[in-house]
Chains A and B, each alone.
Chain A
C-alpha cells in the first residue's frame, strides 16, 4: 500500500480509538445510554454534537448513512450518489414532480453540498417575526452566532476568480445591469477542483464530517452509523428511548439487529423529510396537526446555455456567483421571487437533467465542454397560498407530497425567461431550458416568445431541490409551530428539533449557514439548561 497523498482525519481518529459503532457490523442487539441522543450528523446534528460534547455531556450521534471520508471520495458519480445521498440522489416527491438531493452519510448534506454560505436574509427574518412570532430571530441577535460558526467553519470570501461557468452568470448579469454578488464558501485550503458534490477528496470543505463531528468524537461522543432511527418510545410526556434498526453494508435493507438508545434528552436533526417522519412514526402529540406540514423546497428551475467557447462547468469551485435581484423585484409575500446561481455539471447529473433521449440527447451531450448551467431557486412559503408540501408515511418510509401549483408555474415561467435572457446576454449561441417540449433557441427574441408559451406542467418542466426546509416549524405559539423558539418540541419535556425542519418558511438562500448559526444558539442554550453552566464557545 502506498501512503495517501492526503491525510485522512477520519481514519486517523478511528485509529486513535474514537467510539464508532457500525450498525452493519452488529452481530447482536445493542443498548447504549448517554446524556443526549442526537438523530442525524448533518448541519444541525453536527453543530449540536460538538457544543454538547464540549459542555461535558455524554453524547450519542446516530446516522443512517455510513462513515466515509477523503480516502473514499474518488470524485466519481457512480460511487458517490449511491453511497452519499438519500435514495442514490434519486429521491423524489410523491408525484415525481421534484427531484431532491439530500445527503445520507456522516456529515449529512454538508458532506456533499456545494459550500454556498449565506446568513439568513433579513427580509426572511422580518417575515418570521411578523408572521410566526419569532421575536428574537432578528439579524442583530443572530449575528454573533453566525460569526461564531463562520469562524468555526472558515466561511470566507472566495479568493480565486470564478470559473467560466460562474463568470458567465456574472457577465450576463453585468450586461443587463443586474446586480451580482460573490458567494462565500466554507473551505480551508480548497484545491478548486469542482467535485464538492461527491465528497471533498482533500478535506478542504469544512463540512460536519471534518469539523464538528471529529471534535465531538475527540470529546468522548459515540457515533452510530448505518442505523435508521425508527421510533421514539414515549412515556409520561417524555421520550424514554430511541429504537433504531441496523442497516446492511449497502444501506438498503435492515439486518434485523436493533439498537436501543436511552438518554435524558433527545435532539432530532435528520433533515426536513426524515425528522418529521420519525416524529410521525413515533406518534408524538401534534394537537394542531402541524407536523410534517409546510415543507419547503426552493423549487429549482434549470437552464442550459451553449457557448462558442469552452465552459468546462465541471471544473473549479462550483458556486461562486449569485444574484438576488429577482428576490427583490416584488413583495416577499407576492409572486414567487428567485435566486440565481450556477451549478457544477458532471456527466450523470447533466445527462439525467437534459430532456429527451436518443440522437438529439447524444448530440447535446457531445457539446458538454460548451454547456453552461444556471439555476433559479424559487422562494416558497411566503405567499399566503404557498403552503409547500406535507411529509407522509408509506409503509413507514417518508414521502413528501409537494403539489406544484400555479404559483410555482408562474415563477417557473419567469425564471426560465430570465435565465435565457442572461445566457444570451453572456454570449450564448443557444439556450435550452430543462423542459420536455422546449427546443434549442438560438436568439433571445425566439426564446422569449417560445418560453412564454411553454406549458408549465407536472413532468414537463424539470424541477429539482437541494434544500428541504420546514415540517417541524418553530413559532411563538402552538397554533403556528410544533416547536418553541428555543428549539424544544412543545408537547414533550425532553425533545428538541435542531435542523432545517425548524424553519417556518424557506430561507431564500442556500440554508446551510442558517442551520449552523440558529442551531449553535439553540444547542448553546440546551447545553446551559442541561449542565447549569454557560455553554462553551466553539472555535476552529
Chain B
C-alpha cells in the first residue's frame, strides 16, 4: 500500500527526538508520579479530532446525532484509559501530552492550526502515516488510538444495529 509521505514525516530521527522530548516536557510540567489519566484542553480536542477519522463510515450522518456519538465515543475512550494500570495510563498521558504540544503536532502529524478545527483530511493522512511509519513508536501510538477509538465505539450497544450484532440473551444480560 502506497501512502503519500509528506516531508515532515521523513524527518524520522528528528521526529523521534521530539517525541521523547515532548513526553519529557509534558511530564516535567505535569509532575505525574503514576497518577490517573486526565483528558483536558488540547488533549481532549485532539481525541475529538481523531475519533471521527477512526470512525468515519460508522458515525451517524445527521449533525446533532453525529456530535453526540463522537462525544459518547470520546467518553468511552476516557473510561477505557481510566481502567488501565497506572504505568500504562502514564504512557497514554504522554502520547496525548505530545499531541497537545503545538510544535510536536505540526512536526509529527502535519495538522496545522490546532485540533479544534483540524482538517479531517489532515487527520486521516497522519493516522495513515503513523499506521505504517518506520518508527515503531509512532506505529504503536497509532495502534493505541485505533484500539481505544474503535473499542470504545463498538463497546456501546448503540453501535450494534449497524453491524447486525444482536447482543446477548436479554434475559441474562
**A122 interface contact, C-beta 8 A:** no
- The stretch that binds B, out of A41-49, A271-279, A301-309, A357-365, is A357-365
For residue A348, CB closer than 8 A to chain B, the reply is yes
Q: Is the CB of B163 within 8 A of A347?
A: yes
- Asked whether, in the complex, the Cβ of B88 is within 8 Å of the Cβ of A314, the reply is no
In the assembled complex, A5 has its CB within 8 A of some CB on chain B: yes
Contacts A365-B163, A366-B163 given; indicate if A82 touches B150 (C-beta within 8 A): no
B160 interfacial contact with A, CB 8 Å: yes
- Cβ-defined contact, A358 with B57, below 8 A: yes
Which stretch (A8-16, A73-81, A414-422, A529-537) binds chain B? A73-81
Name which of B20-28, B109-117, B136-144 contacts chain A: B136-144
Q: Nearest chain-B residue to A363 (Cβ)?
A: B57
| Distance in angstroms between the alpha carbons of A6 and B87 in the assembled complex | 38
A352→B173 contact, CB < 8 A: no
* In the bound complex, CA of A411 to CA of B147 (Å): 25
By the criterion CB–CB under 8 Å, are A195 and B55 in contact?
A: no
Interface residues of A in 183-197 (CB under 8 A from B): 193, 195
Cβ of B83 within 8 Å of any chain A Cβ, yes or no, is: yes
- A82-B80, A361-B150, A365-B154 are known contacts. Are A347 and B173 too (CB-CB below 8 A)? no
Instruction: Please name the residue on chain A nearest to B172 by beta carbon.
Output: A201
| Interface size of B in residues (CB-CB distance below 8 Å) | 48
Binds B, one of A31-39, A87-95, A171-179, A519-527: A87-95
Given the complex, which residues of A lie within 8 Å of B156, measured CB to CB? 78
Pick from A82, A357, A394, A436: contact of B87, CB under 8 Å: A394
B84 touches A74 (CB 8 A): no
Interface 9-mer from B9-17, B99-107, B124-132: B124-132
**Chain B 41-73 residues near chain A, CB threshold 8 A:** 53-58
B29 at interface by CB-CB < 8 Å: no
- Tell me whether A351 and B169 are in contact (CB under 8 A): no
Cβ-defined contact, B153 with A351, below 8 A: yes
- Residues in A neighbouring B55, C-beta threshold 8 A: 357-358, 362
Expressed in whole angstroms, the Cα–Cα distance for A369 and B54 within the complex equals: 22
Q: Judge whether A361 and B57 touch: CB under 8 Å.
A: yes
* Contact A253 B57, beta carbon cutoff 8 Å: no
Contact of A459 among B127, B136, B150 (CB under 8 A): B136
Q: How far is the CB of B131 from chain A (nearest CB, A)?
A: 6
B36 near A252: Cβ-Cβ < 8 Å = yes
CB of B18 within 8 Å of the partner chain:
no
Chain B residues near A78 (CB-CB < 8 A) = 76, 155-156
Q: Is the CB of A459 within 8 A of B85?
A: no
CB distance from A114 to the nearest CB of B (A): 16
- Contact yes or no, A362 B56, CB < 8 A: yes
Bound-complex Cα distance A78 to B172 (A): 16
A250 contacts B83, CB within 8 Å? yes
CB-defined interface of A432-455 with B at 8 Å, one 1/0 digit per residue? 000011000000000000000000
A192 to B51, CA, bound (A): 36
Q: Which of A193, A347, A360 contacts B165 (CB 8 A)?
A: A347
Return the chain B residue nearest A96 by Cβ.
B140
Are A352 and B164 within 8 A (Cβ)? no
Contact of B122 with A by CB under 8 A? no
B85 touches A437 (CB 8 A): no
With a CB–CB cut-off of 8 A, which chain B residues contact A76?
155, 168, 173
Closest chain B residue to A95, Cβ basis: B136
Decide: A195 near B80, CB < 8 A? Known: A90-B147, A357-B150, A358-B57: no
Closest Cβ–Cβ distance, residue A280 to chain B (whole Å): 16
Does A501 interact with chain B (Cβ within 8 Å)?
A: no
Q: Is the pair B168, A352 in contact by a Cβ cutoff of 8 Å?
A: no
Given A357-B53, A357-B54, A437-B1, A87-B173 contact (CB < 8 Å): no
Contact across chains for A77 and B140 when beta carbons are under 8 A apart: no
Nearest-Cβ distance from residue B86 to partner chain A, whole angstroms: 6
Q: Quick one: CB contact mask for A56-90 with B, threshold 8 Å, 1 for yes? A: 00000000000000000011111000100001101
Contacts of B146 in A (CB 8 A): 352, 357
Task: Report which residue of B143, B160, B163, B164 has the largest number of chain A beta carbons within 10 angstroms of its beta carbon.
Answer: B163
CB distance from A85 to the nearest CB of B (A): 10
Q: Are B150 and A352 in contact (CB under 8 A)?
A: yes
Picked from A88, A360, A365, A436, the residue with its CB within 8 Å of the CB of B132 is: A436
**Contact residue among B136, B154, B167 (Cβ-Cβ distance under 8 Å from A348):** B154
| Known pairs A202-B172, A357-B54, A369-B164; A347 contacts B154 (CB<8 A) | yes
Cα separation A250 to B58 with both chains bound (whole Å): 31
Are B34 and A352 in contact, with the CB atoms below 8 A? no
**Contact flag A347-B160 (CB < 8 Å), given A252-B82, A252-B83, A397-B87:** yes
Q: Are B57 and A88 in contact (CB under 8 A)?
A: no
Do A87 and B57 touch (CB < 8 A)?
no
Chain A minimum-CB-distance residue to B124: A358
Instruction: State in angstroms the CA–CA spacing of A88 and B151 once bound together.
Output: 11
Residues of chain B within 8 A of A75, CB atoms compared: 167-169, 172-173
**A95-B136, A359-B56, A368-B163 known; A252 and B86 CB under 8 Å?**
yes
State which residues 453-476 of A face B: CB under 8 Å.
458-460
Are the C-beta atoms of B83 and A193 separated by less than 8 Å? no
B83 close to A77 (CB less than 8 A): no
Is B54 in contact with A87, judged by CB distance below 8 angstroms?
no
For B54, what are the chain A residues with a Cβ–Cβ distance below 8 Å?
357-358, 361
Chain A residues in 8 Å Cβ range of B147: 90, 352
User: By CB atoms of chain B within 10 A, which of A75, A195, A365 has the most?
Assistant: A365
Q: How far is the CA of A347 from the CA of B147 in the complex (A)?
A: 12
The answer to whether B83 and A74 have CB atoms under 8 Å apart is no
Q: Can you add 15 more A-B contacts, CB < 8 Å, to A75-B168, A95-B140, A360-B57?
A: A5-B171, A76-B173, A78-B76, A90-B84, A347-B154, A347-B165, A348-B155, A352-B147, A352-B151, A357-B53, A359-B57, A361-B150, A362-B56, A366-B164, A369-B165
**Top 5 closest pairs, chain A to chain B, by CB:** A362-B57, A75-B168, A359-B57, A82-B83, A347-B154
Q: Show 7 residue pairs from A and B whose CB-CB distance is below 8 angstroms, ordered by the A residue.
A: A82-B80, A88-B83, A95-B136, A193-B172, A357-B127, A357-B149, A460-B132
